[in-house]
Amino acid sequence: MKKINILIISAILTFSCGQKEETTTSLEKLKNKELKLVAKIDSLTNELKIVESEISKLDTTKRLPIITTLPVQYDMFKHYVEIQGVVQADKNIEIRPELGGTVTQILVKEGQKVKAGQLLVQLDDTEIKNKIDELNTQLALAITTFERQERLWNQKIGSEMQYLQAKAQKESLENSLASLKTQNNKMKISAPFSGIVDEIFPKNGELTNPQTPIIRLVNLDKVYVEADVTESYLPVVKIGTEAIVNFTSIHKEVTSKIAQIGHYINPDNRSFKTRININNTDQSIKPNLLADLKILDFKEEGIIIPSTLIQQDQNGNNYVFTVTMETNENKVVKSLVTVKKEYNHTAFISEGLQKNDVLVNAGARLVKSGDMVKINRN
C-alpha cells in the first residue's frame, strides 16, 4: 500500500512539473487542469482499494483478537441464606441454693470436671442437725408410747382416743423429721448433671441466699446455634434443611441441619427462631460465640457459569459470548441467558446455554458478536 501511495504522489509531481513548462494565463485553463488532476487521483484511489481488498484476501497473517475460552459447567448449584447466630448450651446454668445459709465448705475448684450428684458446696446445717437430734429423741419416746397403746388397744384395754393420740403424735414427729432431713439435704449443693465447674461465686464463710448464684456449671459436649430468620424464608427453611456454620473466631466450620424452627413470628423484626444442634466433643465452641450461618434455600442441577462473564445490553437483557466454528474459524456469538440464581460469584443459568457450549473468558469485554477470534490455549 505504501508503494501505491508513492506512485500516486510521483505521478502527480511528474504531471505538475510537466505543466510548469506551459504558461497558463487564463482561469479556464487552470480549472481544466484541476479537473484532470482530480480525475487521476480518483482513478488511482479506486485502484488502491482493489489492491488492498486482494491483499486482505491473500494475507494469512492478519491479526485477530486473542481470547481464552471456558466450557460451561453442568453440576449441582446451591444457594444459601446468610445470617448470623449465637451459640447456646442447654447445660449452662447458675446453681442457686434453695435455702439461705453460710458457706462452710467448697469441695471443688474452677475448671474441675464433676459428675452428676457430686457434692459441690456445703452450707451450714448445724441448727437443722440439732433440730433433727431433738426430734429423734421425741420420736423415740412417741414410738414407745404408741407401741404400748397399740398393745393395750389390741387387748381391748384403754380408750380408743388414747391410742389415736399416740399414733398421731408419732406420725407428726415422723413427718417433721422427714421435713427437717429434706431441709438438711438442701444445705448440700450437688451437681444436677456432669460437667465442668466454670465459676465459683462465694467464698468460705460468706452468706448466701436463693437470689445469688453459687456455682456456674457447664457441659459443652452438645451445643446449638440459635438465629433469627426472616419470615419470607418460611416456605424453604424446614427441619432437616442443610446448614453450614462458620465460627470465624476459632477458624472452624461445621456442616449440620436445622433441628428446630419456631412457630412464632416476632412482630418487631418479622423473623422466626431456628436451632442447629452441634456436637462439641473437643469443647472448642463456647456459649455466646458468634457464628456465621448459611442455610440452604435453593438446590438444582444445571448449567453453572462465572457471574463475571454475564453482561447486559441496552435493553437490560443478560447475555454471554460463546464461540462457534465457522469455515474453520472461531466466531463470537452473543447468547441471551436467563439467570435463575447467583451465589458466591457463580450463576445458575436456566435458559440460553447448552452443556457443550464454550464461553469467551478472557477478552469477553473486548469482542463483539460476529468477530473472528484466535483462541489462546496456553
Question: In the prediction, which pLDDT does 35 show?
Answer: 83
Nearest residue to 362 (alpha-carbon basis) of 343, 350, 376: 376
Question: In the prediction, which pLDDT does 375 show?
Answer: 87
Distance from C-alpha of 323 to C-alpha of 237, rounded to nearest angstrom: 40
Question: In the prediction, which pLDDT does 270 show?
Answer: 93
Question: In the prediction, which pLDDT does 33 show?
Answer: 83
**Cell (9 digits) for 81:** 441464606
Pairing of strands 372-375, 66-67: parallel
For the chain, which residues score pLDDT lower than 70? 1-25, 52-53, 55-62, 378
Question: In the prediction, which pLDDT does 61 show?
Answer: 54
Summarised one tens digit per residue, pLDDT across range 249-296 is 999 999 999 999 999 999 999 999 999 999 998 889 999 999 999 999
Distance from C-alpha of 323 to C-alpha of 67, rounded to nearest angstrom: 10
pTM beyond 0.75: the answer is no
Partners of residue 188 on adjacent β-strands: 122
Question: In the prediction, which pLDDT does 53 show?
Answer: 66
Question: In the prediction, which pLDDT does 15 show?
Answer: 45
What percent of the chain is helix, strand and coil (3-state, nearest 5)? 30, 40, 30
Question: In the prediction, which pLDDT does 247 show?
Answer: 95
Letter for the amino acid at 218? Answer: V
Question: In the prediction, which pLDDT does 20 show?
Answer: 45
Nearest residue to 98 (alpha-carbon basis) of 183, 189, 206, 210: 210
Summarised one tens digit per residue, pLDDT across range 19-49 is 444 444 577 888 888 888 888 888 888 887 7
Question: In the prediction, which pLDDT does 13 show?
Answer: 44
Q: Rounded to 5 degrees, what are φ and ψ at 129?
A: -65, -40
Question: In the prediction, which pLDDT does 3 show?
Answer: 45
